[in-house]
Chain A
């Protein structure tokens, strides 16, 4: 679930915790561009 990967913190089960699925935005957006078939230099 991509939305969870965009938040450094998460509340799950009523408890706040560091989100282990978080991906820093530079890396996350690069991955998305690559998945969409674009090139990072376009």
Chain B
């Protein structure tokens, strides 16, 4: 089955060709109630999961994945799951650089690691944008420009 024809179920609906999703949650419980079935479905379909998380929540995040039935160690070892901290993605070099981040998203979705899988489901926590981080004012422009990058891919990005 071609990647773009695969069903991507998310939050009570199916994602169509527009796969750049903004998500607001009232609580951590709501966040995982909505996102875990989406993440698990991707893993079960043999797709790749790329997550960006608050480094203070990395361990708890992996535990949530494990409790949802994902063999986290095996998935990480096999390259199917990659979990990066904010500092390894949005905040490399201690600040948000929209050019660097757009390049990273492009690289993540086009890399040889991505090519090994039919689809990447990228889940990026952006709560750092609520904090006073250097470069944070560029976040809106980055998100608008990300649509140009994502138009080249069928991957789902939340």
Docked-complex contact A9 and B22, CB < 8 angstroms: yes
Tell me, yes or no, whether B64 is within 8 Å of chain A by CB. Answer: no
Docked-complex contact B140 and A2, CB < 8 angstroms: yes
Which of A2, A7, A25, A32 makes the CB contact (< 8 A) with B21?
A7
Cα(A12)–Cα(B30), bound, Å = 11
Q: Which residues of A contact B30 (CB under 8 A)?
A: 14
Tell me, yes or no, whether A11 is within 8 Å of chain B by CB. Answer: yes
Which chain B residue has the least Cβ–Cβ distance from A29?
B144
Cα(A18)–Cα(B19), bound, Å = 10
Cα(A7)–Cα(B158), bound, Å = 10
Q: Which residues of A contact B23 (CB under 8 A)?
A: 10-11
Which of A10, A24, A29 makes the CB contact (< 8 A) with B22?
A10
| Complex interface bits, A10-40 against B, C-beta within 8 A gives 1, otherwise 0 | 1110111111000011001100100000000
Tell me, yes or no, whether B33 is within 8 Å of chain A by CB. Answer: yes
Which chain B residue has the least Cβ–Cβ distance from A17?
B13
Docked-complex contact A32 and B22, CB < 8 angstroms: no
Docked-complex contact A11 and B148, CB < 8 angstroms: no
Min C-beta distance of B37 to chain A, whole Å = 11
Docked-complex contact A11 and B143, CB < 8 angstroms: no
Task: Show 26 A/B contacts (Cβ-Cβ < 8 Å), sorted by A.
Answer: A2-B140, A4-B22, A5-B144, A6-B144, A6-B146, A7-B21, A8-B18, A8-B20, A9-B18, A9-B19, A9-B22, A11-B10, A11-B11, A11-B22, A11-B24, A11-B25, A11-B158, A14-B11, A14-B30, A14-B34, A16-B10, A16-B21, A17-B13, A19-B22, A32-B141, A32-B144
Besides A7-B22, A11-B158, 14 new A-B residue pairs in contact (Cβ under 8 A), listed by A number: A6-B22, A6-B140, A7-B21, A8-B18, A10-B21, A10-B24, A11-B24, A12-B24, A14-B11, A14-B34, A16-B12, A16-B21, A19-B22, A32-B144
